[in-house]
């Protein structure tokens, strides 16, 4: 067999002339393959965090009831818990409320408040920043926990140091308000956020407060009720989780996470004008009206004081 000898890599002979045309620029070097390390670490951390949290939830909230540690009956009044948790309340709920969009919902609903405003179950004043003070003429904040109100008051004065028309009251919202805080003709807006879960008698409170809302009259709109509340969702598995967790959650936080908001609103006679739902239907933002036809009832006399 004859071997054909030849240069296996013949060098191209140099071009005898320099071409005049500009050669296109060389293509960019291929990108180095992206390191997968970051993705692996992130996934690992995510799975680790999720499973740790799930185990934590299971151990603390979802485990079957322990007969040696009886849980309170559904809807037992545990609202005095807020006296104890006031100082850590904001820190504990801030992250959750920001990440779940609850704050955006607060802003959307509370931002509609106008005129003379009553906020019940105000807690630590988590809605302070959401009021449009261009539309609001006065605010009365009510909560039965002096510890919570103290924080709300401090926060308000820090954020709105020159606002003259804010009043803070420590009292059960189911009891009559002092006459001098109720505007003549009633409040233009009543606000409650995350109150249904914690009040001993949430529809009783709303019904009572409905008596302070400005009545509809010829040519004039009645007052509005603005609510951001949480409770049962209507999804079976979500409600299973809520029911399972409710007793243990309530003992620690004073809040029943599995109440039927629709039922509470219905019993209070709330007429819903609009509702937006978040979090599988566990969080509702409601605009409605209350107490049509009912008289304004205040402590002492029946006539309002503030103009």
Ligand X SMILES: C[S@@+](CC[C@H](N)C(=O)[O-])C[C@H]1O[C@@H](n2cnc3c(N)ncnc32)[C@H](O)[C@@H]1O
**Positions that interact with ligand NAG (CB under 6 A):** 79-80, 83, 85, 88, 91-92, 94, 97-98, 103, 125-126, 128-129, 137-138, 144-146, 155, 159, 164-165, 252-253, 307
Min dist. Cβ of residue 234 to ligand X (A): 21
Give the C-alpha distances (Å, rounded to integers) separating 49 from 57, 148, 172, 219, 242: 12, 32, 40, 57, 21
Among ligand X, ligand NAG, none, partner that 188 touches (CB below 5 to 8 angstroms by kind): none
Instruction: Say how far apart CA 294 and CA 44 lie, in whole Å.
Output: 59
Partner whose binding site includes residue 291, from ligand X, ligand NAG, none (CB under 5 to 8 Å by kind): none
C-beta of 283: minimal distance to ligand X in Å?
11
**Closest C-alpha to 71, from 219, 246, 295, 273:** 246
Backbone angles phi, psi at 217, to 5 degrees: -140, 170
Residue 288 partner contact from ligand X, ligand NAG, none using kind-dependent CB cut-offs of 5 to 8 Å: none
Question: Cα separation of 249 and 92, whole Å?
Answer: 13
User: How far does Cα 280 stand from its chain's mean position?
Assistant: 14
Q: Say how far apart CA 186 and CA 210 lie, in whole Å.
A: 10
**Where do contacts with ligand X occur on this chain (CB under 6 A)?**
79, 82, 120-123, 126, 142-145, 148, 172-174, 193-195, 198-200, 205, 255
Helices and strands: H and E segment counts in the chain: 7, 7
Q: Which is nearer to ligand X, 176 or 185 (CB)?
A: 176
Q: How far is the CB of 251 from ligand NAG (least distance, A)?
A: 10
Cβ 232 to ligand NAG, closest distance in Å? 21
Tell the smallest beta-carbon distance from residue 269 to ligand NAG (Å).
25
Selection from ligand X, ligand NAG, none that 189 binds (CB < 5 to 8 A by kind) is none
Pick between residue 115 and residue 262 the one whose CB is nearest to ligand NAG. Answer: 115
Task: Quote the CA–CA distance of 86 and 58 in Å, as a whole number.
Answer: 26
Q: Which does 155 bind (CB under 5 to 8 A by kind): ligand X, ligand NAG, none?
A: ligand NAG
Q: Which is nearer to ligand X, 65 or 101 (CB)?
A: 101
Tell me whether residue 188 or residue 229 sits nearer to ligand X (CB atom). 229
Q: Which does 87 bind (CB under 5 to 8 A by kind): ligand NAG, ligand X, none?
A: none
Q: Which two tokens stand for residue 131?
A: 């009021």
In the complex with ligand X, the residue whose CB is nearer, 173 or 286, is 173
Q: Exposed, middle or buried by CB within 10 Å (0-12, 13-18, 19+), for 305?
A: middle
Using CB distances below 5 to 8 A depending on partner kind, what does residue 103 bind out of ligand X, ligand NAG, none? ligand NAG
274 beta partners: 287
Q: Which is nearer to ligand X, 72 or 222 (CB)?
A: 72
Q: Pinpoint the alpha helices (H) of 100-215.
A: 102-110, 146-159, 202-210
Cα separation, 280 vs 233, whole angstroms: 6
Question: Quick one: 126 or 248, whose CB is closer to ligand NAG?
Answer: 126
What tokens were used for 5? 């000898």
CB of 84 to ligand NAG, least distance (A): 8
Task: Please tell me the distance from the alpha carbon of residue 266 to that of residue 174, in angstroms, as a whole number.
Answer: 17
| Number of other CB atoms surrounding residue 186 within 10 Å | 22
């Amino acid at each position: 067999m004859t071997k054909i000898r030849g240069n296996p890599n013949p060098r191209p002979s140099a071009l005898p002339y320099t071409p005049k045309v500009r050669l296109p620029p060389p293509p960019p070097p291929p990108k180095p393959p992206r390191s997968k390390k970051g993705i692996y670490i992130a996934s690992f951390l995510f799975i680790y965090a999720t499973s740790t949290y799930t185990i934590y939830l299971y151990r603390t909230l979802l485990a079957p009831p322990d007969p040696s540690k009886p849980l309170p009956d559904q809807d037992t009044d545990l609202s005095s818990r807020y006296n104890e948790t006031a100082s850590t309340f904001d820190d504990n709920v801030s992250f959750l409320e920001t990440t779940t969009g609850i704050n955006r919902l607060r802003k959307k609903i509370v931002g509609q408040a106008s005129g003379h405003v009553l906020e019940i179950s105000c807690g630590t004043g988590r809605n302070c920043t959401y009021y449009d003070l261009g539309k609001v003429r006065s605010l009365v904040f009510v909560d039965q926990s002096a510890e919570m109100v103290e924080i709300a008051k401090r926060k308000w004065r820090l954020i709105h140091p020159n606002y003259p028309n804010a009043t803070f009251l420590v009292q059960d919202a189911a009891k009559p308000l002092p006459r001098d805080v109720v505007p003549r003709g009633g409040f233009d807006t009543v606000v409650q956020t995350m109150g249904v879960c914690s009040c001993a008698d949430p529809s009783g409170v709303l019904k009572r407060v409905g008596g302070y809302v400005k009545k509809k009259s010829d040519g004039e709109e009645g007052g509005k009720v603005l609510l951001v509340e949480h409770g049962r969702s209507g999804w079976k598995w979500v409600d299973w989780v809520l029911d399972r967790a409710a007793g243990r959650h309530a003992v620690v936080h004073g809040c029943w996470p599995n109440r039927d908001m629709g039922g509470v609103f219905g019993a209070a006679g709330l007429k819903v004008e609009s509702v937006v739902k978040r979090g599988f239907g566990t969080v509702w933002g409601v605009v409605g009206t209350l107490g049509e036809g009912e008289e304004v009832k205040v402590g002492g006399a029946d006539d309002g004081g503030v103009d």
